[in-house]
Each structure stands twice: as structure tokens, then as C-alpha cells.
Amino acid sequence: SIKGKVGVTLNPHGWATQVLIAGGCPCVPGRPSCPCVFVKEDIKELGRCRCGLFADDNYLENYNSLKGEAKKKRGKVEAAPVFALLPAMNDKARGEFLKKASINGFSIEDNGSRLTLRPRGAEATAEVTIEDDKVNGFRVVSASGRYAGFARGQKRSYFESYINRWVMEAVFQSEG
């Protein structure tokens, strides 16, 4: 593994992000380590590899969100009604979407046109609420908590990109 050869630490933030996206390795889903040939150069230049899976000790020590500490607690962040790009889903597509969200580590609270997704796990204290407006499709109406990708105010856009991708895949799968 790269960790043993390069002498770097597994980056918990990058790991959580890659698990959410691809299951560990950004290139091969399910692979627990990255075989990237550029990892040494990236760590030397940036303090971490480009996908964020591995980082040196200095990067881990100085990047606050990796320690799981928050400078101050924040409440819910209400999102403006944007990114409503996808068609309304039929029941089959909705089922496919809920399956994808569940497989990707979210518990689901289904209230008809409004869904609340919560990442499962001891480190995850997040909540994202999405709503089907029946015209343009799903949009994220609120996101709050502490989770990978939640740094620097990117809560809504981070989850919206994944949710829209899952919805798009579900719509295509239901038609095929």
C-alpha cells in the first residue's frame, strides 16, 4: 500500500469523502488504498494527494476539520430554491433513488414530497432535507451538521450534486 511505502497518514476527511463517492479509492470502488503513481509528488507539493485520501502529518495537524472540532456550533443553513433541474420521478425511479441513498450510507425519513437524509455512523452528525417540487424535481432545501464536505459553507451544493446524480441515475434506470 502507498501508506507503508510513502510514510503518510490516511486522511480521515479524504477517506470519508472517497467512501461516500467511490468506496475508498477514487479510481477503483471498494479498494481501500490508492495506487496512484503521483501520490508522492502531490504530498510533497500540497501536503496531501489530489483526491485527498492521503496526507502528511503537518496537513492533518493544521487542517482543523480533520480533528472533528468545530470553532463554533452553527444552526441549520437554509438553502435558496435553486438547482431544480431534474424531471419529477415516477414511483419506480423514486424507489431506485431511495435505494441509492441507503446504499451510500444515509438513513431516510420519507414525508411524501420531502425527504430527510442523515449519514449513518458515529462521526456523522448531519442532516440534509430535499424536496420534490413536482415540476423541476428534487432540490436541497436545508443542510446542517458536521460531515465530510461540510467545510467552508458547501453543505447544500455538496449534497445537491450527489443527490441530483442519484436522481438522474434512478430516472434512467426506471425507464430502461
User: Could you count the other beta carbons within 10 Å of the beta carbon of residue 56?
Assistant: 18
pLDDT-derived band at 79 (thresholds 50, 70, 90) equals very low
Query: Cβ distance 90 to 5 under 8 Å?
Result: no
Tell me what the mean pLDDT of segment 136-146 comes to.
60
Q: Are 88 and 34 found together in one domain?
A: no
Choose among 65, 67, 6: nearest CA to 33: 6
Q: Are 123 and 85 found together in one domain?
A: yes
**Which sign does the torsion angle of CA 137, 169, 153, 20 carry?**
positive
CATH code where residue 108 lies: 3.30.310
Q: Domain span at residue 8?
A: 2-67
Q: Are 96 and 142 found together in one domain?
A: yes
Q: How high is the pLDDT of residue 46?
A: 74
Beta bridge partners of 108: 117
Q: Are 105 and 163 found together in one domain?
A: yes
Residue 78 scores a pLDDT above 50: no
Q: Are 40 and 125 found together in one domain?
A: no
Q: Are 103 and 16 found together in one domain?
A: no
Q: Are 62 and 83 found together in one domain?
A: no
Residue 32 scores a pLDDT above 50: yes
Q: Are 56 and 83 found together in one domain?
A: no
Residue 71 scores a pLDDT above 50: no
Query: Cβ distance 49 to 55 under 8 Å?
Result: yes
Query: Cβ distance 146 to 14 under 8 Å?
Result: no
Provide the grid cell at 81.
430554491
3-state helix, strand, coil in the chain (%, to 5): 40, 20, 40
Report the range of poorest mean pLDDT among 6-20, 28-42, 123-137. 6-20
Choose among 129, 125, 160, 155: nearest CA to 142: 129
- Which amino acid would we find at residue 68? G
Give the chain's mean pLDDT.
Answer: 59
**72 domain residue, yes or no:** no
Residue 150 backbone dihedrals phi, psi, to 5 degrees: -90, 0
Residue 82 scores a pLDDT above 70: no
Query: Cβ distance 39 to 2 under 8 Å?
Result: yes
Query: Cβ distance 11 to 53 under 8 Å?
Result: yes
Residue 62 scores a pLDDT above 50: yes
Q: Are 163 and 103 found together in one domain?
A: yes
Domain boundary among 67, 97, 113: 67
Domains: count for the chain? 2
**136 domain residue, yes or no:** yes
* pTM score, whole prediction: 0.40
d(Cα 67, Cα 9) in Å, to the nearest integer?
A: 13
Q: How high is the pLDDT of residue 55?
A: 72
Query: Cβ distance 144 to 78 under 8 Å?
Result: no
Q: Are 56 and 109 found together in one domain?
A: no
Q: Are 12 and 60 found together in one domain?
A: yes
Q: How high is the pLDDT of residue 101?
A: 74
Query: Cβ distance 9 to 53 under 8 Å?
Result: no
Highest mean pLDDT among 29-43, 45-59, 122-136: 45-59
